[in-house]
Amino acid sequence: MKKLINPFFRWENGTFITIDQTRLPFYESILKLYYPDEYFDAIKKLKVRGAPAIGIVAAYGVLSTVYRYKKFTKAKTESLKTIELLKTARPTAVNIFNILEELKKLIENFDSNDYNHFKDSIENFCKKRLEYEVYTCEKISIYGSELIKNGMNILTHCNTGMLATPGIGTALGIIFKAFIMGKRFHLFIPETRPLLQGSRLTVYEAEKLKLPYTLVTDNMRGFLFSKNMIDITFVGADRIALNGDTANKIGTYESAILSYVHKKPFFVVAPTTTFDKKLSSGKGIKVEERKTDEIISILNKRISIAKNTFNPAFDITPSKYITGIITEKGIIKPKSECIKKILK
Amino acid sequence: MKKLINPFFRWENGTFITIDQTRLPFYESILKLYYPDEYFDAIKKLKVRGAPAIGIVAAYGVLSTVYRYKKFTKAKTESLKTIELLKTARPTAVNIFNILEELKKLIENFDSNDYNHFKDSIENFCKKRLEYEVYTCEKISIYGSELIKNGMNILTHCNTGMLATPGIGTALGIIFKAFIMGKRFHLFIPETRPLLQGSRLTVYEAEKLKLPYTLVTDNMRGFLFSKNMIDITFVGADRIALNGDTANKIGTYESAILSYVHKKPFFVVAPTTTFDKKLSSGKGIKVEERKTDEIISILNKRISIAKNTFNPAFDITPSKYITGIITEKGIIKPKSECIKKILK
């Protein structure tokens, strides 16, 4: 069986190397991140995106800072500053907070003054976490691909593949895995306005793999369901509360509602790092509101004269509309007792 | 009370004068239609759109032909040809078929060889039908505006205002009427991909009237409903079956499902000319599939490398999700017995 290797995330001696996702698919523009502001800008402007990916990239942002200052005390204070900066880049995904919090603890409690030892510890942390993301994607894809049968029509949302994680992806990872296992099915990709992660990024990945797909606009999902053209839906997650309520890219909730009304399964796919242990329900999730530009223009082309827009980047799907959550520890029901069990 | 006059549709001595809606809102480009091909092209390419509007414009297309040939026999054969041509321009809206069928009967059964008499008859027919559309919009808006209360948040879809009808509009007509009556409410406008009739045209009309609105992308409707930000929905219709099933712009069905799940009223707004007397249910409605271009580009800017797209221009909302249908003859339940009664 062909093995998929993620080509988009790489650490090279002080610098994190990735691809500028805002320029895809027309330009494959390499992004080299070194200064904290560059990391902040890349995450804020969605040059790097996807909940698992931005967590990892943020961690390496801290490591870049450690690399830059060759003395322990300076490296420590500056890396703590980088942590505080990067925490403010995007508010909704939990992974970036969690990983930065862990790093903060590691740095604050570091019990030596040796710079090299310090640097190696942070580097080791980052490397392990990146490897763990690759591992969780693989495990998730093994569990999830069981659900895909030959001949199925599958719906996804946004982009959750090798551009969204350092591994093979979450929701798309499952689909990729099933595909390289030889299963034959069809993928429907909603374009995912405003930033078109579906039509720009998911189509880009599907084309590279020669995976059969059809691109539609977001408002065609209802039509597809009404014509019985969707059998199962897989979406990613940016933050999952302890009761299973899930924040994910705007429009996800609509796919959940359509699945519910048409009696089709709807799966959330995420590593356990996406759960927010402090959050009992989705009501507490802060939804990022982004700028007007994204609504009245597309890839810098102005499309509307509207002065008043609203641009929530995520929505919250209540757990009652979720068939199951696919994690690296197995597929679970979106219920508090099941979630608490796997988080132990 | 301020009276709204539709400025977009005018007949002037052989030529129909309207505005090229594909160029709005950035260019207010006047369109003068004379030859049958020009009418066909305008309707096909959505330079003129909206079920009531294209019916009227098609009728005037026939009149243009009558104007061009100054002899009865030639005018008769050529106008019948124009009818056959224009019937094929767009398949889903019923108004254009109905009005062209009526004209065909009128022409075939015309009981004189007098050119001027013939021309006057056709012109009279067109004029009456245009006036009737203006009258129905007015009546509809009076019935429908009763449903709008101060402080409401209203959802619409696509464009159903003065660009979609020769009158003040259907769904938007109601909203405009309530607004000029002094009611205060807020309108949410989904952009309506692929052709952005919401963000280009409805925003354009709302701005002209200074009506308070917010533009969102289509996939934000679920979020709005989930946050209790929508109280009532008004949409137009391209074809309504005798059981109330309604074909309308793609994405309409999703607003109906969201209204249903969130227990909010969902109204279809259309003149009785939108009912298809030959159709017992929505299953028989032919949905127009349009070209790939509209999905992979926006206003001529390419946004995706996708090779495979699907582009249905309409969807069908089953009557069970429709609270009521607002017509010029009153507001009715979407049930066969009620529909048959008003069509008598």
Chain A's closest residue to B193, CA to CA, is A217
Q: Which of residues 166-225 of B touch A (CB under 8 A)?
A: 189-194, 196, 199-200, 203-204, 207, 212-223
**For residue A327, pLDDT beyond 90:** yes
State how far residue B223 is from chain A, nearest Cα, in angstroms: 6
Q: Provide, as residue numbers in chain B, all residues whose Cβ is less than 8 Å from the Cβ of A193.
A: 191, 193, 217-219
Q: How far does the CA of residue A145 sit from the closest CA of chain B (Å)? A: 24
3-state secondary structure chain B: CCCCCCCCCEEECCEEEEECCCCCCCCCCEEEECCHHHHHHHHHCCCCCCHHHHHHHHHHHHHHHHHHCCCHHHHHHHHHHHHHHHHCCCCCCCHHHHHHHHHHHHHHCCCCCCHHHHHHHHHHHHHHHHHHHHHHHHHHHHHHHCCCCCCCEEECCCCCCCCCCCCCCCHHHHHHHHHHCCCCCEEEEECCCCCCHHHHHHHHHHHHHCCCEEEECHHHHHHHHHCCCCCEEEECCCEECCCCCEEEECCHHHHHHHHHHCCCCEEEECCHHHECCCCCCHHHCCCCECCCHHHHEECCEECCCCCCECCECEEEECHHHCCEEEECCEEECCCHHHHHHHHC
Q: What is the reported pLDDT for A40?
A: 97
More confident residue, A126 or B92: A126
Question: B247 CA to chain A: closest CA distance, Å?
Answer: 11
As a whole-number percent, the residues of chain A with pLDDT over 70 amount to 100
Contact A254 B196 (CB under 8 A): no
pLDDT at A300: 87
Q: Cα(B217)–Cα(B204) distance, rounded to whole angstroms?
A: 16
Residues of B in contact with A260 (CB under 8 A): 261
| Interface mutation vs chain A, best among B195, B205, B223, B307, most A CBs within 10 Å | B223
Tens-place pLDDT, residues A129-166: 999 999 999 999 999 999 999 999 999 999 999 999 99
**Interface residue of B192, B219, B230, B286 to substitute, partner A, most A CBs within 10 Å:** B219
For chains A and B, count residue pairs whose Cβ atoms are closer than 8 Å.
Answer: 177
At residue A311, φ and ψ (nearest 5 deg) are -140, 70
DSSP state of A167: S
B8 sits in the region (left: phi over 0; alpha: psi -120 to 50; else beta) called: alpha
Structural contact between residues A152 and A185, judged by C-beta atoms closer than 8 angstroms:
yes
Cross-chain residue pair A298–B303, CB shorter than 8 Å: yes
Please check the confidence at residue A333 and state whether its pLDDT lies above 70: yes
Angle at Cα A259 formed by Cα B158 and Cα A171, nearest 5°? 100
Q: Which residue has the tokens 């000029």?
A: B180
pLDDT band at A89, cuts 50/70/90? very high
Hey, are the CB atoms on A304 and B196 less than 8 Å from each other? yes
Long-range interactions of A22-29: CB distance < 8 A, separation 24+: A22/A46, A22/A47, A22/A195, A24/A163, A24/A200, A24/A201, A24/A204, A25/A200, A25/A201, A25/A203, A25/A204, A25/B304, A25/B305, A26/B302, A26/B305
**What ipTM did this prediction achieve?**
0.94
Q: Closest to B306 (Cβ–Cβ): which among A192, A215, A260?
A: A215
Encode pLDDT of A266-277 as tens digits: 999 999 999 999
Buried b (16+ CB within 10 A) or exposed e, B153-180: bbbbbbbbbbbbbbbbbbbbbbbbbbbb
pLDDT bucket at A3, cuts 50 / 70 / 90: confident
Residue A313 forms contact with B (CB below 8 Å): no
Residue among B256, B247, B304 nearest B276 (CA)? B247
Q: Which of B332, B316, B336 is nearest to B324 (CA)?
A: B332
**Which candidate in A22, A24, A191 is best for mutational testing of the B interface (most B CBs within 10 A)?**
A191
pLDDT range class, residue A224, cuts 50, 70, 90: very high
User: From the CA of A134, how many Å to the nearest CA of chain B?
Assistant: 27
Give the pLDDT mean for A293-300. 93
Tell me if A305 and B220 make a contact (CB, 8 A cut-off): no
**Chain B contact set for A254 (CB, 8 A):** 219, 221-222, 254, 258
Q: Residue A89's closest CA among A134, A132, A59? A: A59
Contact between B310 and A220 using a beta-carbon 8 Å cutoff:
yes
Q: What is the pLDDT of residue B218?
A: 98
Looking up tokens 């409605």 gives B285
pLDDT at residue number A309: 97
Walking along chain B (344 residues) 10 residues at a time, the average pLDDT comes out as: 88 96 96 97 95 95 96 96 96 90 96 95 97 96 98 98 97 98 97 97 97 98 98 97 97 98 98 93 91 93 96 97 98 97 93
For residue A284, the model assigns a pLDDT of: 86
Q: Residue B1: its pLDDT value, please?
A: 64
CB contact under 8 A, B304 and A26: no
**Mean pLDDT confidence for A187-208:** 97
- Kindly indicate the confidence band of residue A318, based on its pLDDT and cuts at 50, 70 and 90: very high
- Which helix (H) or strand (E) segment is A65 a member of? helix A51-68
* Domains delineated in chain A: 10-137 (1.20.120.420), 147-342 (3.40.50.10470)
Using a CB-CB cut-off of 8 Å, the residues of chain A touching B315 are 220, 222-223, 226
Q: Which among B214, B305, B307 is the nearest to A309, CB-wise?
A: B214
Helix axes A51-68, A72-87, angle to 10 degrees: 150
Residues in chain B with CB shorter than 8 Å from the CB of A316 are: 226
Collect all residues of chain B within an 8 Å Cβ-Cβ radius of residue A304: 25, 191, 196, 199-200, 203, 215
Q: Residue A23: pLDDT band by 50, 70, 90 thresholds?
A: very high
Q: Give the model's confidence band at A337: pLDDT under 50 very low, under 70 low, under 90 confident, else very high.
A: very high
Report yes or no: A216 and A190 within 8 Å, Cβ to Cβ. yes
Distance from CA of B36 to the nearest CA of A (A): 31
Under an 8 A CB cutoff, do B216 and A315 touch?
A: no
What does the pLDDT read at residue A1?
64
Q: What is the pTM of this model?
A: 0.94
